[in-house]
């Protein structure tokens, strides 16, 4: 990372490049040291947009699915073929909000300036992830910092979902 980041000790940081999520292309999620950690492969399948998230050895960790034609933007995160979480764009005046419903668990909320990549994901009002573009000098790069003990893959997948849905109407 090119600039210091105002995070608490123990937070894990990653970097992604915005708008590299084009259909049919792979992109890497890197750790704070710039090393590739996770790969996302974007695929188009009939009326569904799909991302497969894998580790550096190509072991599939999660699949993200979105219906391309939908009234309310919604994406599902699957693990082992089972629903792990559902990310929905919420209707809110003057704010960008997303709900992340984890199966058998908490409901998370993302809000802030999503289009500018300056937002937080919270659980019960407590931050579990911070997304910021301010940590980088490159325009197309943004960071994701996760609080200790969080599910990395789930929150990284949620950030990908939010990035994909941020510019859709609804």
Give the tens place of pLDDT for each residue, 28-82.
899 988 899 999 887 765 556 788 999 999 999 999 998 656 677 899 999 999 9
pLDDT band at 6 (very low <50, low <70, confident <90, very high): very low
Give the CATH number for residue 142.
Answer: 2.40.160.200
Reply yes or no on whether the pLDDT at 22 is more than 70: no
Look at residue 62 in the predicted model and tell me its pLDDT: 97
Instruction: Report the distance separating Cα 127 and Cα 80, nearest Å.
Output: 27
The answer to whether position 7 is within a domain reads no
The answer to whether position 170 is within a domain reads no
The answer to whether position 5 is within a domain reads no
- Greatest mean pLDDT range, 51-55, 82-86, 161-165: 82-86
The better pLDDT of the pair 170, 166 is held by 166
Q: What is the DSSP letter of 41?
A: E
The answer to whether position 79 is within a domain reads yes
Instruction: Give the structural domain span for 106.
Output: 12-165
Look at residue 38 in the predicted model and tell me its pLDDT: 93
Domain count across the chain: 1
Give the tens place of pLDDT for each residue, 86-119.
999 887 666 788 999 999 988 999 998 877 778 9
Comparing 72-76, 120-124, 136-140, 161-165, the range with the smallest average pLDDT is 136-140
Instruction: Report the distance separating Cα 84 and Cα 76, nearest Å.
Output: 8
SS3 75: strand
Within 32-135, strands assigned E span 36-45, 48-55, 60-67, 74-79, 82-90, 96-102, 107-113, 118-123, 126-132
The answer to whether position 21 is within a domain reads yes
């Amino acid at each position: 990372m090119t600039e210091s980041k105002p995070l608490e000790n123990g937070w894990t940081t990653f970097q992604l490049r915005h708008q590299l999520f084009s259909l049919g292309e792979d992109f890497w999620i890197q750790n704070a040291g710039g090393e590739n950690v996770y790969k996302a492969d974007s695929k188009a399948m009939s009326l569904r947009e799909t991302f497969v998230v894998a580790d550096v050895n190509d072991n599939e960790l999660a699949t993200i699915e979105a219906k391309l034609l939908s009234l309310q933007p919604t994406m599902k995160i699957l693990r082992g073929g089972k629903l792990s979480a559902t990310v929905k764009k919420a209707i809110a005046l003057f704010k960008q909000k997303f709900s992340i419903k984890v199966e058998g668990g908490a409901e998370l909320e993302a809000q802030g300036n999503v289009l500018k990549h300056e937002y937080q994901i919270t659980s019960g009002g407590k931050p579990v992830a911070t997304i910021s573009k301010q940590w980088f000098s490159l325009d197309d790069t943004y960071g994701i910092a996760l609080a200790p003990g969080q599910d990395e893959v789930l929150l990284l997948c949620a950030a990908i979902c939010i990035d994909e849905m941020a510019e859709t109407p609804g």
